[in-house]
Amino acid sequence: MPDSILQLSNKQLDDQAEVLESLAKTLRQKRAEKKLSRRVLAEMAGVSQRYLAQIEAGKGNVSICVLQRVADALDSNLLKLLGRVEIKDTVAEKFAAASVEVQHAVLQTLSIHEKEKRIALIGLRGAGKSSLGKKSATALGIPFIELNDIVERLAGMPIGDIIAMYGVEGYRKLEGDALTEVFAMHKTCILAVSGGIVTSSHTYNRLINGCHTIWLQASAEDHMARVRAQGDLRPMKGHLQAMDSLRDILKERALDYERADVCLNTSNAREPIVLRSLLELIKQFGDE
């Protein structure tokens, strides 16, 4: 083996060790500043204490997604945790000065390999997440998961009771816990999430970075017709102008939904055709 190649390999190993040690030191310092125990930080970030201990010891293969969750829990950012001296005044400053959209795009690029083969379907109720999700999972022979099913299991009660007892904030906290469980248990699955998950920026960022996301888009009229066909008018209950309210919700959430990797319009198309398009999109993710 040529000496130049051997020297390069040794340098790469030294650089890797330097990065891990710098990360470990910064993480220990940030945790001390926040006066957080390792257990509490692990719970806040949705990672195991053992994994966090490995990071703080400068060991292990560190996941970008996990680092992002730890940074969020510490009210910090990813590049500050990595914190190498030579990039602080260049990449870190440019990242900090960038728009939110650019920052999310960078994080998505860095974490593409962390998405595994998880597919998340997002959109308002009536978009077809459950129906299309189940059928696509069956066609592919992989698990289909309704995130709300896990939320109900964790709480030991139906969604309506959770909101009545703990409020929307309590429900969103459980939703984040449920997502942590999905990431820990499933590398391959079709995941259907609530339409309002986009209102919790922390959980939604984790979803975007941890899954290939598909926005099942539909017109307000189609959403309303499908919801009524399901006999479920929860989002519209008590509203005299139901359609106007639905349009407002779609408008408010459109920018967040557009952060999905791809959009699939389900309006004015028969379900078998939409299903075929969905399966083609999923196949493209697998080919990346």
- Pick the more confident residue, 260 or 68: 260
- The mean of the pLDDT values for the chain is 79
Please tell me whether residues 157 and 257 are part of one structural domain: yes
pLDDT value of position 141 = 95
DSSP structural state of residue 190: E
Most confident range (mean pLDDT) of 24-28, 67-71, 270-274 is 270-274
- Pick the more confident residue, 266 or 103: 266
Q: Which amino acid is at 184?
A: A
pLDDT value of position 113 = 47
187, with CB counted inside 10 A (0-12, 13-18, 19+), is exposed
pLDDT in tens, 138-183: 999 999 999 999 999 999 999 999 999 989 999 999 999 999 889 8
208 inside domain: yes
pLDDT at 110 over 60: no
User: Mean pLDDT lowest for which of 55-64, 79-88, 198-207?
Assistant: 79-88
CATH number at residue 240: 3.40.50.300
How much is the average pLDDT of 240-269? Answer: 84
106 inside domain: no
Please tell me whether residues 173 and 253 are part of one structural domain: yes
The pair phi, psi for residue 263, each rounded to 5°, is -120, 135
> How far is 194 from 171, CA to CA, in rounded Å?
11
Please tell me whether residues 261 and 151 are part of one structural domain: yes
pLDDT at 231 over 80: no
pLDDT value of position 157 = 93
Please tell me whether residues 188 and 230 are part of one structural domain: yes
Which of 73, 97, 121 is at the close of a domain?
97
> How far is 93 from 112, CA to CA, in rounded Å?
23
> How far is 69 from 183, CA to CA, in rounded Å?
12
Please tell me whether residues 48 and 159 are part of one structural domain: no
177 inside domain: yes
pLDDT value of position 7 = 42
Which of 68, 97, 126 is at the close of a domain?
97
Please enumerate in sequence order all residues whose Cβ is within 8 A of that of 146, keeping only pairs 6 or more positions apart, or say none.
Answer: 130, 133, 192
Please tell me whether residues 224 and 270 are part of one structural domain: yes
> How far is 178 from 154, CA to CA, in rounded Å?
8
> How far is 207 from 179, CA to CA, in rounded Å?
8
pLDDT value of position 36 = 84
Which of 97, 125, 159 is at the close of a domain?
97
pLDDT at 84 over 80: no
CATH number at residue 9: 1.10.260.40
Please tell me whether residues 171 and 203 are part of one structural domain: yes
Please tell me whether residues 246 and 188 are part of one structural domain: yes
Question: What is the number of structural domains in the chain?
Answer: 2
Please tell me whether residues 7 and 75 are part of one structural domain: yes
pLDDT at 4 over 50: no
108 inside domain: no
Most confident range (mean pLDDT) of 41-50, 107-116, 165-174 is 165-174
DSSP structure string for 119-157: EEEESSTTSSHHHHHHHHHHHHT--EEEHHHHHHHHHTS
pLDDT at 13 over 90: no
pLDDT at 191 over 90: yes
Please tell me whether residues 204 and 163 are part of one structural domain: yes
H helix runs in the chain, sequence order: 3-34, 38-45, 49-56, 64-73, 78-82, 85-87, 93-97, 100-110, 129-140, 147-155, 159-185, 201-210, 220-229, 242-257, 271-286
Please tell me whether residues 10 and 65 are part of one structural domain: yes
pLDDT value of position 262 = 93
164 inside domain: yes
Structure token pair of residue 235: 């989002």
- Pick the more confident residue, 33 or 14: 33
50 inside domain: yes
Please tell me whether residues 75 and 13 are part of one structural domain: yes
Q: How many other C-beta atoms are found inside a 10 Å radius of the C-beta of residue 77? A: 16
79 inside domain: yes
How much is the average pLDDT of 262-279? Answer: 90
Give residue 187's domain range: 113-286
How much is the average pLDDT of 107-134? Answer: 80
pLDDT at 117 over 60: yes
Q: How far is C-alpha 216 from the chain's CA centre? A: 16
Q: For CA atoms 53, 57, 63, 65, give the dihedral sign.
A: positive
105 inside domain: no
**Residue 44 — left, alpha, or beta (φ > 0 → left; ψ -120 to 50 → alpha)?**
alpha
Q: Assign 224 a pLDDT band (cuts: 50, 70, 90).
A: confident
Quickly tell me which residue has 């990813």 as its tokens: 78
